[in-house]
Structure 1
Amino acid sequence: MTIVTTDLLAAPTVTDLSSAGGSRWQLRPTTALPAGVTLDAEAIDAVVPGEVHTDLLRAGLIPDPFDGNNEQKLAWIGLTDWQYRSVFTFANGQHARHDLLADGLDTAATIRLNGQVVASTANQHRSYRFDVREFLVQGENELVIDFRAPVTFAREQSELIGPRPQVNHHPYNAVRKMACNFGWDWGIDIAGAGIWKGIRIESWSGVRIASVRPLATLDSDGTGVLDTHVELEWDGGTAAVGTAELSVSVAGQRSVVSVGSADGVATSVLRVPDVAPWWPRGHGEQALHEVHVELSDAGTGSWASRVGFRTIEVRTDPDADGTTFKFRVNGADVYIRGSNWIPDDALVTRITRESLEASIRDAAESGMNLLRVWGGGMYESEDFYDVCDELGILVWQDFLFACAAYSEEEPLRSEVIAEAREAVTRLSAHASLALWNGCNENIWGWVEWNWQVPLAGRTWGEGYYRKILPEIVGELDPRTRYSAGSPFSYGDHMHPNDPRHGTTHIWDVWNEKDYSHYASYKPRFASEFGFQGPPAWSTLTSVVHDEPLAPYGEQMLVHQKAHQGNLKLERGLGEHLPQQDSIEDWHWATQLNQARAVAFGIEHFRSLFPLNQGTVTWQLNDSWPVVSWAAVDSHGIRKPLWHALKHVYAQRLATIQPREDGLSVVLHNDTDEPLTAELALQRLATGVGGAVLAEELLSVCVPARDAVTYVLPAQIAQPGDATAEFIHVRAIDAGLGLAPAFGYFAEDTALALADPAAALSASAQLVEGGVAVTVRAHALVKDIALFPDRVDAAARVDTSLITLVAGGEHTFQVTGEKLDPEALCSAAVLRCANDLVQG
């Protein structure tokens, strides 16, 4: 029967239809399964929010998709239609409106309530609200959501709208679904379906708060300004009242505004004198202030969030060298030390607040101050942006377009507009939000990737990037800068990937050239570049079971998605490190080379300051166990690259660089205090004893947020024997936060590095919480690393890639429960560059 409403304005109520709310869901395929695939039951229990893969996995009906070559074995899931069904009790008839809210449906879905079609949807990246009062009955109700097979649906849509160029093997650009769900050059092809976010029925009367946009900025005199826009919706029934009263409060300030149903939008401007501002990490505190919006009179409802008062500019000004790309927060320039972010798990419904915080802390503890949410992923949950607000991590937010041409016609056009408006409205409150970016590499693709012929005049997305998206940002979040794409040069008739202008992606190094080629670039801002390396040994061997284990084993290559990836890893060793025979040495050498390659690039780029204003590496995290560009693997183990980033992303960096006047030490002081120091400059012998061949003191003074170059004296910079000597630069005062810098006259393959048996000794002892492993050097020992996961996959180490001169000592702190001190000193666990060369 149809619910009868009354005129009483009762408090809004929610009928939670998720599993946590008590609803029971069942899942079943609705198209024929391929030969050889059977399910033990017609339907299985499902968890909502969830996805088909996780439900099948929980039921024990499929193996782990990440393991071995199961990816291919489970491809049938993406070619199958699926149905979710729930029967729930509803008894909430006193309200005028009953809305079904689906926060996330992945992707092409038809919703039926009690056998009647409510709606069809086709966008993973937005939420839906449907008035279902005509479909609901008192008592028992049946909700059915049918999902089309995602791969099949994408193919059909591609044919319908006209195929357009894209990378990888599925036409992900034909549908509004997370692109990397169809596979990427680091990602598993695991296209699935499901009710991936919350679902519920909201019952309400009178008026409700539909959306809130609290835009917090900072005046030049330190006054905080909160410009709040509240959109209201009236129920349209007899209980509706013509006006509503809203109160907005923040930091002790409060305003009350009235809004009529004819308008529907309320605006409040609050000024907060001498407010504590929000700063990115490394520049100040992350002050956050509670905002409360309360609705009264015509209805009841409230909204709360936090804001940070700040101004963020992205300056793209022409100058003598090209075009800048510079972040400026509260009037202060911020040098960017960042990384690209991908979804933290390929099965996205397993991501939690805790897992996100752990991964974002990986960024913060490495010295990063920015994460770029890449356009082939998803708009992240509130948890992600909340943690970034709290930790002072700026967020560069891509709209979800990546490496492909996109139709600008229906049915995509209206979906793109709807998702963009929702995303901007939802995320605009966050203090960390620093930039909206139209697309990833699509403008570059149009210019350089031979799209024009296959497109044959069809649209490719430019209308989104140049008109629709900037108009939406300008309307809904005018305080935040919009960029059409990355890379982008910020001028008409410019190549979009010109290093002299704006943002630059550098991929010829990984794909074609030695990493020393980074030195040929002088980018104003490098927003993508990187080098591959395998995950931790325990992570790799948990999913790759080839016998024998080898770089080109069948399962190994399942977990290497880049074109000729392992060949590029071997070629990338170049003259830097010898080619390796054993899989253990291959693993260590390629991990080390990854770390060195990226560190080499960043040190060079930072040495160009202020010409260069930042770097954003590809990439911070992984979504499954894979050989990739990530600094932290999918099991949360920080690869050697992460430790290299922690060194080169330190606020104070000393790096030895070639200059026209000779070999120099460049000091970048990215702090608010001048760096005044005495540096000990040494030229040392590499062998046992580490004889001092030349030594000088250098007095340096580097202003706050500045860089200074000092040419090294000839007796330091000019070796007697390039193969047996090196440069060591260290601050006399170890408390200045300036790590030593090393310079070499030859690559390791030509360098006389001592045998680690003679050059390095180690001891270990149990301490509270784990084991302390102390190493002592008797000669130059490069890049000492400890891999406790070889002993216990849950073990972690605090530091890595430690280079010691003769007489130097370092203690690694290892945490874990199954630790054998003697094993931690074994050759399989304790590695260094010397053993690769000597081996």
Structure 2
Amino acid sequence: MLFITTSALLFLWACQTKNKNPQLQSQHEINNNWSFRQVGEDEWLPAKVPGTVHTDLMENGKIENPFYRLNEHDVQWIDKADWEYKTTFETDESVLLYDRVQLDFKGLDTYADVFVNGTQILQTDNMFREWKADVKELVKKGANELRIVFHSPIKEGIKKYDSQGFEIPVSDNDLAKIGQVEDGKKVSIYTRKAGYHFGWDWGPRLVTSGIWRPVYLKAWDKACIENLQIVQHEVSNEKATFTAVFEIEAEKRSKATLSVLNNGTILASEKVQLEKGLNKYPVDFKIQNPQLWWTNGLGEAHLYNITGELKTGQRTFSEETRIGIRTLELVREKDEQGTSFYFKLNGHPVFMKGANIIPGDVFLPRVTAEKYRTTIETAKESNMNMLRVWGGGIYEDDTFYDLCDENGILVWQDFMFACAMFPGDTAFLENVKQEAIDNIKRLRNHPSIALWCGNNEILAAWYSWGWKEQEEAKNKENAGKIWQAYTDIFHKILPEMVEKYDPGRSYWGSSPSSGLGVPADLVNGDEHYWGVWWGKQPFETYATHLARFMSEYGFQSFPELSTVQEYAEPEDFDIFSDVMKSHQRSSIGNGTIEYYMLKEYKQPKNFESFLYVNHILQAEGIKFGLEGHRRSMPFCMGSLYWQLNDCWPVASWSSTDFFQKWKALQYYVKKGFEPVLVSPYVDDLKFKVGIINDRLEKVNGQLNLKLMDFEGQVVWEKASLVEIPANSSGDYFNENRYEFLYRKNTRNLLFYAELVENGKIISRNIIFFRPFKELDVPHPNVEYTFEKTDAGFDIHLKTDKLAKNVYLQIGNEKGFFSDNYFDLLPGGRATVHLKTGISEEKLEDVFSFRTLDDAF
């Protein structure tokens, strides 16, 4: 049983009198002694809360790991069943003396009936919302039962599907066939639940239910602060002005004092008259000589700890939040090409470098704070300054946004709608409205939130995927209803909620688009480019298909062998085996990887070599996009590739796999997003070297260029002093490529560029003039030594000839290489830092490396 006593209460707010009497507002998490069962069955099993039905069934040995081999297909019955959870908690009389006692459910997935001591207190239908219920009249001294019945999201969805009267278009990402849903009905759109649970072209179909976020019992007297919003006004070097908006739930009319503090120092204080019920009270304050919040690479992400205090009589209640002082605007101005689309931070246009993210697991309670931390550390280490939270997943946990705040990572925040039209009935629209309010209020104080976006690719589906024509051909009246629901949600409800609850931020109706309800083009908004992959266009088009902001583009790879071994057996090690095809959700997936691979490389000699070459293929392909987008600034001002992470072990577009291991792409991204980048490239008849400088000050340096063969003989070189203006992109070498390469053996030739500042190489890059399969790459003699460090080892490498895509490994041991999959020039040396806890003796035993010539 869960005992809640005066001595055991945990406190959310610092709620104490001047004389330090016992605190008067409490919060306790109800997370112990839960059990669950399938409705209709007798057996109760232990459950973990927060958790999910699937993970609880796994813990009790009732199902096998759905990620392993083809097990996913054997657990599709779970989402057709109803499930029941219960626990008993005890309260003593002191809890019942509070004016208010409340149960707060941070996340219930999804259709749930909630009972306390046999009385129903809630009926929920949205996993994205927070649900609260007053229970003072229901809880009693001693034992209290909390029971939650989860109804099948599939059965509930089918009811709504059948009552709709016509079919609403949904993309093939709703894997109803795999889910064995009645008549293949795509019911995901009727339930306010993470879309990717129903399947996606990188994820499994595992439609789970459960108490996915914490449950709290709260109690307080007289009044409490329900929400504290910090609204920023003017910012100058001398001061920044704000309004703290206190949202207060008061039990009765009374006088109070509201104060705003920074690290204990009072910034402002105001006397107010509290009114019974929920009301808002503004308090203006200012911060002198403010330190600004900057994105990663431009400065410190400085944060202020702000406390809002509510004093009624001798009782003081408080709530804390953090803010970053910065100005941020989405700039949409007409110019010669169309309409700009860029973010201006603290008065400076900033090129956005980053990726799209999806939820870190299908089973969301397994996404720990440590996993979030690794995600954001990866983004920061990779020189990113923006992540897009994609609309088919979830509004992420507070921990994610806190880490983005701390590390200077802006967040493009989608609302949770993707690749489908949605119902437009009154109840659904009201549910969406409340979902928006909950999440805008929860996230609006975070300086990392850059933009609210209505949806992912729905406008594109309607106008560019043929949905509009198809629906009008079937029934024009129904097509009108479908489009009306779209405009009600994305042109009315969501922008109105943003304007009302977070007016300082921009709203963007759909990604990609060129404006509210305006389909995407290349000159007025953001773009998702999938000509590479779906259209089998060459990688080079990444650098020429340019829009004002590239918010999606990508190419797939399998994870490394150690991850593949987590879901497959050696007999599955063929990309066209049933297991490999099941862990590939793109309809053209494995064949497309092979198609592109054989354009650039010979057939790898075995499955492990295929994985290695696939990593390099993905990285080299996306490199065209990363660099091409940056070279085209200021026309293009953002490059967010698809995708940073995975929700299960799978072949996908990710740059880190489910276990957060870096693929080759992540190492390429780290270099491609360096603040200063030297970028040699072919532009039709020209061969050029571009330099991009994201710093807010100019760079003076020396540009060194070389043509050399694979044995190290230099056949051409040039050095020049260059001055690169702040926040700029330009070409610093421009030659006719045919004249430049005239009578040169490009099968045995590379071009090397480096930029040196104050004696230090700040950027280097290599380009080859043929596909790898046409190069005469020799077998290099690579030597290495280990040097122990506090955190692991320095690995010193040298080679006699070109060592292409050096890949360092330590078997299945845990560790992280500071660089990998890199080219080592003939006669060159490199030092790679290995962070690991293994001994030198163990390292000697497990360390290995390979180069690309070994793969064939």
Fold match, TM over 0.5? yes
Verify the 8 A CA contact 1:663 1:717 in the aligned structure 2. no
Residues in 1 aligned to 2:337 and 2:98: alpha-carbon distance in whole angstroms = 64
Tell me what 2:134 maps to: 131
Corresponding residue SS for 1:440: coil
Residue in structure 2 matching 1:806, options 826, 833, 847: 826
- Cα distance change on mapping 1:824 and 1:664 into 2, 3 Å: farther
For residue 689 of structure 2, what is the amino acid of its counterpart?
A: V
What is the aligned partner in structure 1 of residue 8 from structure 2?
none
Paired position in structure 2 for 1:36: none
Superposition deviation, residue 786 in structure 1: 1.4
8 A Cα contact 1:312 1:327, kept in partner = yes
Relative to structure 1, the CA distance from residue 575 to residue 29 in structure 2 (aligned partners, 3 Å threshold; closer, same or farther) is same
Using the TM superposition, give the Cα deviation of residue 822 of structure 1 relative to its aligned residue in structure 2, in angstroms: 5.1
Which residue type is aligned with residue 288 of structure 2? Answer: P
What is aligned with 1:445? 461
| Structure 1 residues 100-111: aligned runs within 5 Å | 100-111=103-114
Match of 2:253 in 1: 241
**1:474 and 2:499 correspond:** yes
Alpha-carbon distance in 2 for matches of 1:58, 1:644: 39
Structure 1 residue 835, shift from structure 2 partner = 2.9
- Work out whether residues 259 and 265 of structure 1, in 8 Å CA contact, stay in contact via their aligned partners in 2: no
CA distance in 1, matches of 2:343, 2:642: 19
Structure 2 matches for 1:361-510, cutoff 5 A?
361-452=377-468, 453-454=470-471, 456-459=479-482, 460-490=485-515, 494=518, 496-510=519-533
Q: Does 1:54 align with 2:85?
A: no
CA displacement at 1:225 relative to structure 2:
2.0
Mapped contact 1:216–1:307 kept (Cα < 8 A): no
* 1:601-639 per-position Cα deviation (integer Å, ceiling 9, x unaligned): 111111112111110111111111111111111112111
| CA positional deviation for 1:519 | 3.0
Letter in 2 for 1:813: H
| Kept after mapping to 1: 8 A contact 2:237/2:290 | no
Q: 1:11 and 1:764 mapped to 2: Cα distance?
A: 60
Does 2:270 align with 1:256? yes
Counterpart mapping for 1:674-693 below 5 A: 674-686=698-710, 689-693=711-715
1:451 Cα deviation from its structure 2 partner: 2.3
Match of 1:792 among 796, 812, 823: 812
The aligned runs of 1:73-222 (5 Å cut-off) are 73-91=74-92, 92-161=95-164, 162-167=166-171, 168=173, 169-170=175-176, 171-222=187-238
Q: Which amino acid aligns with 2:783?
A: A
Q: Which residue of 2 aligns with 1:767?
A: 788
2:590 maps to what in 1?
Answer: 566
Equivalent of residue 287 in structure 2, options 237, 247, 272: 272
Distance in structure 1 (CA, Å) of the matches to 2:634 and 2:202: 33
1:587 to 607, 611, 614: 611
Distance 1:602 1:130 in 2: 49
Report the AA paired with residue 297 of structure 1. Answer: T
Residue 734 of structure 1 and its aligned partner are, at CA, apart by 7.7
User: In 1, are the aligned partners of 2:756 and 2:763 still within 8 Å (CA)?
Assistant: no
Asked if structure 1 preserves the Cα contact closer than 8 Å seen for 2:645 and 2:656, the reply is: yes
Aligned to 2:446, the other structure's residue is in SS state: coil
Q: Deviations over 1:203-226 (max 9, x none)?
A: 233222121211235524552122
Q: Secondary structure at the match of 1:458?
A: helix
Matched-pair contact (CA < 8 Å) for 1:546–1:553 = no
Alpha carbons 1:323, 1:490 under 8 Å: kept:
no
Is the Cα contact below 8 Å between 2:572 and 2:578 reproduced in 1?
A: no
Give 1:593 shift: 0.4
- Please give the per-residue CA displacement for 1:721-769, whole angstroms capped at 9, x wherever unaligned: 2322221122355855532222222111112211x2xx23223436245
For residue 6 of structure 1, what is the aligned residue in structure 2? Answer: none
Q: Does 1:747 align with 2:779?
A: no
Letter in 1 for 2:583: H
CA contact (8 A) 1:154 1:172 kept: yes
Structure 2's unaligned 5+ residue stretches are 1-20, 177-186, 472-477
Matches within 5 A, 1:687-726: 689-712=711-734, 716-718=740-742, 720-726=744-750
Deviation of the 1:59 alpha carbon: 2.2
Shift of 1:412: 1.4
Alignment equivalent of 1:727, drawn from 746, 751, 775: 751
Identity of aligned residues (%): 30
Is the contact between residue 408 and residue 463 of structure 1 (CA under 8 Å) also seen in structure 2? yes
Matches within 5 A, 1:575-724: 575-659=599-683, 662-686=686-710, 689-712=711-734, 716-718=740-742, 720-724=744-748
- 8 Å contact kept, 2:307–2:318: yes
Within-5 A mapping of 1:272-311: 272-297=287-312, 300-311=316-327
1:93-115 deviation line (CA, Å, top 9, x unaligned): 22332222111111000011222
Residue 151 of structure 1: how far off its partner (Å):
2.6
Distance 1:657 1:741 in 2: 10
User: Which digits, 9 at most, give the CA deviation of each residue in 1:145-200, with x for residues without a partner?
Assistant: 00012233233333334542222224221111111122211112221111111212
Deviations 1:221-264 (A, max 9, x none): 552122221111223xxxx2344332222364122241431682
SS at match of 2:720: strand
Name the aligned partner's letter for residue 28 of structure 2. Answer: D
Distance 1:451 1:280, change over 3 A: same
SS at match of 2:533: helix
1:324 alignment partner in structure 2: 340
Partner of 1:30: 39
2:375 to 359, 377, 380: 359
Sort the Cα spacing of 1:713 and 1:461 in 2 relative to 1 into closer, same or farther, 3 A: closer
Contact kept in structure 2, 1:213 and 1:426, CA below 8 Å:
no
- 1: CA distance between counterparts of 2:668 and 2:593? 18
Change (3 A) 1:257 1:499: farther
**Does the 8 Å contact 2:491/2:516 carry over to 1?**
no
The answer as to whether partners of 1:113 and 1:141 remain within 8 angstroms in 2 is yes
Aligned mates of 1:803, 1:731 — CA distance in 2: 17
Assess, with a 3 A threshold, how the Cα gap between structure 1 residues 410 and 498 changes in structure 2: closer, same or farther. same
**CA–CA distance in 2 between the matches of 1:296 and 1:732?**
60
Distance 1:446 1:361, change over 3 A: same
Q: Is the 8 A contact 2:394 2:416 kept in 1?
A: yes
Residue identity opposite 2:520 in structure 1:
N
1:344 positional shift: 1.4
466 and 28 in structure 1: CA distance in 2 versus 1, 3 angstrom threshold: same
Are the counterparts in 2 of residues 48 and 195 from structure 1 also a CA contact under 8 Å? yes
The TM-score normalised by the length of structure 1 is 0.92
Letter in 2 for 1:608: S
The answer to whether the aligner puts 1:781 opposite 2:803 as a matched pair is: yes
When the two chains are superposed, the root-mean-square deviation of aligned CA atoms in Å is 2.3
Offset of 1:558 from its aligned partner? 2.1
Deviates more, 1:362-371 or 1:517-526: 517-526
Structure 1: distance between partners of 2:151 and 2:238: 53
Per-residue CA deviations over 1:664-710 (Å, capped at 9, x if unaligned) read 10000111232222222222123xx3221122222221111112212
Change (3 A) 1:410 1:716: same
Change (3 A) 1:296 1:753: same
**How many equivalent residue pairs?**
803
Contact persistence 1:68–1:555 (CA under 8 A): yes
Q: Which runs of 5+ in 1 are unaligned?
A: 1-8, 33-40
What letter matches 1:743 in structure 2? I
Give the counterpart letter for 1:321 in structure 2: Q
